[in-house]
Amino acid sequence: MSGSRIAGRVGEVSSGGTNGNPTTAANQGAGQDQGTVQDQGTAQDQGAGGNLGVEERYAVFPFYLCLDVSASMYGAAIDGVNRQLPLLRAAIGEDPAIAEVIRFGVVTFSDVARTVVPLCDLSLVEALPELAAQGRTSYAAAFDHLRRTIEDDYQRSRTAGERWYRPAVVFISDGRPTDDTERWRSAHRTLTDPGWKRRPNILSFGFGDADPAVLAEVSGSKPNRAFLAAEGAEPASVVPELMTGLIQSIVSSSASVYSGQAQLVLPDVPSMRAIPVDQLD
Amino acid sequence: MLGRPSAASAVAPVLRGFGDAAHAAYRADGGDLSWCALRAATVAGVRHRLAGETSEDAFAWESAGDRVAVAVCDGLGSVPGSAAAAGRAAAAAVSAAIVDPGAAVGAARTGVRAANEAAAGGGATTVVVAVIDRDGRAGLARVGDSTAFAVGAGASRARELFAAPAEEGLVGTGTAALPSDRPDAETAEMTLAPGSVLLLVSDGVADPWRDGPGTVAPAFEELLAAPPGPLELARLADFSRQGCHDDRTLLGVWVAHRGAPARNDTGAPGHPGAFG
């Protein structure tokens, strides 16, 4: 041993940040985009010097299914959702590591919007509600409700020691908005406001009378975020396939948090095509 | 268990169709020099184990004279071939760093550049490299979210040597990675006092360490107060905690600890095979 030759104190630190490293996803950590940092101190007197927290925290990935339950969904479409939704719970139950990180909620909208499954650990839910279709198609109601719900859920979750990956909204509709155009656009702007840190990523799916330009706008006019079933496709075949794809997407997205790159994995729905964003206008 | 219980951690994995020592889900190693002790352990994350897959993390070290170079890499699961890329990068990093005669931090940068070249050819990986000299001076460089902590002698609170991720209210979802056209590394320097440890970790360790100030952090700080046995380090890395199932790798270098009674896997000082 040569301890007598060792000098200095524990934790004399100087850190030099650099920039320019390409990132492979958004929301890059501070270490990569900051300038030079000079940080002096000791492990003993500063304790958790590198921003170590003071509260126990657990990362979770929130998913919201935002489902059109207007009158036009009556019949095969809503029946398909009701049959398929329990399969999501079963899929999550098959992978306990995913069940620990995913939080899932269901919001429906017609004339008004409602939370029919509050954001929760789906593996702890014994039964999902049966959905019924009625009324008109108020996108504004859906977006207003999502904005309030996401913020409330975040604050409640944070109090419970959870920190969030960016929430994801899966928006499904078979019709055009029955609101005044500026009304639903205003609600959508509020939901997707860049200044609101909890703004969700939105995937939108349409069939029946859904308008591709509107769906693209709902998804922020981003490539491969809005999808439309082929013209004339029957809800009886589209909805089960869509729900199967969504289940795979939700499970894969949740699993991605363990891969070093959490991401919203697109569903594989062969009968639906991505809406080119240039259809927006 | 460190924090909320994890049901996933309690599930026994199905035996993989093929296995060998090089791809074992639990790996640990270590040894002593006259002036430092080194211990390393890597465990496959619960989700990898349950899926019959192995860890995509890697560690490596190389020593020469009064210097040791160490590296931890974390292959990105979202990119095929990342486990191999991590292995290549870690080995290349320490091999290049140890032959750089310059200051420790410069040698660590050299290690990152070598890791970047080695990572080409498939896959993507983070890297954190440290070069530690006999006098306790250490230089570090990294690309990505693998990081380093220092823990003083006597189980004092740990200090992270790089900036922790900025969350802005949400968890970050990406990391810088190699290979890169511009592998500019963040750097850090410090001087290790006798008995203190410099620990390189993948984010599978760093995230719960930051998120568990009352559970994970004190458990690590207590065990790492002195060089544990390699298997004890692996056991620590395999803690159960809700939602924490990424691969986990730790590599620690304790300076000037030879002669102190080392821990071992039975808890009895001086047990055959123990270091110290």
Q: What is the ipTM of this complex?
A: 0.81
With 50 as the cut, is the pLDDT of residue A46 above it? Answer: no
Domain housing A66: 61-279
Instruction: Flag whether pLDDT at A39 surpasses 70.
Output: no
Q: For residue B196, give every residue at least 6 positions away whose Cβ sits within 8 Å of its Cβ, in sequence order, or none.
A: A10, A11, A43, B150, B151, B152, B153, B254, B255
Is A34 inside a domain boundary?
no
Domain count, chain A: 1
Q: What is the average pLDDT across A85-98?
A: 85
Are B192 and A6 a contacting pair at CB < 8 A?
yes
Please indicate whether residue A42 or residue B23 has the higher confidence score (pLDDT): B23
Q: Cβ of B8 and A259 within 8 Å?
A: no
Best of B171, B180, B244 to disrupt the A interface (most A CBs within 10 Å) is B171
pLDDT at A3 over 60: no
Nearest chain A CA: its distance from B235 CA (Å): 19
Nearest chain A residue (CA) to B214 = A56
Question: For the segment B42-77, what is each residue's pLDDT rounded down to a tens digit?
Answer: 999 998 888 888 899 999 999 999 999 999 999 998
Amino acid identity for residue B89 in this structure = A
pLDDT level of residue A54 (50, 70, 90 thresholds): low
Of A101, A149, A247, A51, nearest to B173 by C-alpha is A101
* Nearest-neighbour CA in chain A from B162: distance (Å): 7
Q: What band does A252 get if pLDDT is binned at 50, 70 and 90?
A: confident
pLDDT band at A28 (very low <50, low <70, confident <90, very high): very low
The least confident of B98-107, B110-119, B182-191 is B182-191
Which pair of structure tokens corresponds to residue A90? 């079963």
**CATH classification of the domain holding A160:** 3.40.50.410
Q: Spell out the SS3 assignment of chain B.
A: CCCCCCCHHHCCCCCCCCCCHHHCCEEEEEEECCCEEEEEEEECCHHHHHCCCCCCEEEEEEEECCEEEEEEEEECCCCCCHHHHHHHHHHHHHHHHHCCCCCHHHHHHHHHHHHHHHHCCCCCEEEEEEEEECCCEEEEEEECCCEEEEECCCCCCCEECCCCCCCCCCCCCCCECECCCCCCCEEEEEECCCCCEEEEECHHHHHHHHHCCCCHHHHHHHHCCCCCCHHHHHHHHCCCCCCCCCCEEEEEEEECCCCCCCCCCCCCCCCCCCCC
Please report, for residues A97, A148, A149, A203, A250, the alpha-carbon distance to residue A152 in angstroms, rounded to integers and kept in the order given. Answer: 26, 6, 5, 21, 22
pLDDT value at position A42? 31
Structure tokens at B212: 């568990």
Over range B27-35, report the average pLDDT: 96
Nearest-CA residue of chain B relative to A262? B173
Q: Is the peptide bond before B13 cis (omega within 30 degrees of 0)?
A: no
Q: Give the domain ranges of chain B.
A: 25-162+178-255
> Lowest-pLDDT range, A35-39, A74-78, B116-120?
A35-39
Closest to A257 measured CA to CA, from A32, A51, A27, A90: A27
Q: Mark yes or no for CB contact A260/B78 under 8 Å.
A: yes
**Euclidean distance between the first and final Cα of chain B, in Å?**
28
Residue type, A132: A
The set of residues, in sequence order, having a beta carbon less than 8 Å from that of A97 and lying 6+ positions away, is: A255, A258, B8, B46, B47, B50, B245
pLDDT given for residue B234 in this prediction = 97
Residue type, B68: V
A260·B196 Cβ contact <8 A: no
In degrees, rounded to 5, the angle at the alpha carbon of residue A59 between the alpha carbons of residues A85 and A164 is: 75
Q: Which pLDDT does position A49 carry in this prediction? A: 39
Among the partner residues A18, A22, A100, nearest to B6 by beta-carbon distance: A100
Please report whether residue A56 resides in a domain: no
Instruction: Report the residue of chain B nearest A19, measured CA to CA.
Output: B184
Say yes or no for a CB contact (<8 Å) between A48 and B169. Answer: no
Q: Report whether pLDDT(B268) > 50.
A: no
A30 vs B166, B194, B242: nearest CB: B166
Band of pLDDT at residue B212, cut at 50, 70 and 90: very high
Residues in chain A: 281
**pLDDT for residue A89:** 84
Model pLDDT for residues A156-198, shown as the tens digit of each residue: 999 999 999 999 999 999 999 999 999 999 999 999 999 999 9
Assign A232 a pLDDT band (cuts: 50, 70, 90): confident
**Average pLDDT score over residue span B116-142:** 97
Q: What is the pLDDT of residue A263?
A: 81
Residue B155 has what pLDDT?
64
Q: Quote the pLDDT of residue B232.
A: 97
Return the SS3 of A44: helix
pLDDT in the model for residue A133:
94
Per DSSP, A112 falls in state S
User: Does the beta carbon of B242 lie under 8 angstroms from any beta carbon of chain A?
Assistant: yes
pLDDT tens-place string over residues B132-148: 999 999 999 999 999 99
For residue A4, is pLDDT > 80? Answer: no
Chain B residues in contact with A48 (beta carbon < 8 A): 157-160, 213, 217
Q: How confident is the model at residue A52 (pLDDT cuts 50, 70, 90)?
A: low
CA dist., res. B72 & res. B79, Å (int): 18
pLDDT at A38: 26
Query: Region A40-52: what's the mean pLDDT?
Result: 36
- In the CATH scheme, what is the code of domain B25-162+178-255? 3.60.40.10
Which of B170, B181, B249 best probes binding to A when mutated, by most A CB atoms within 10 angstroms? B170
| Better-predicted residue by pLDDT, A161 or B111 | B111
Residue A14 domain flag: no
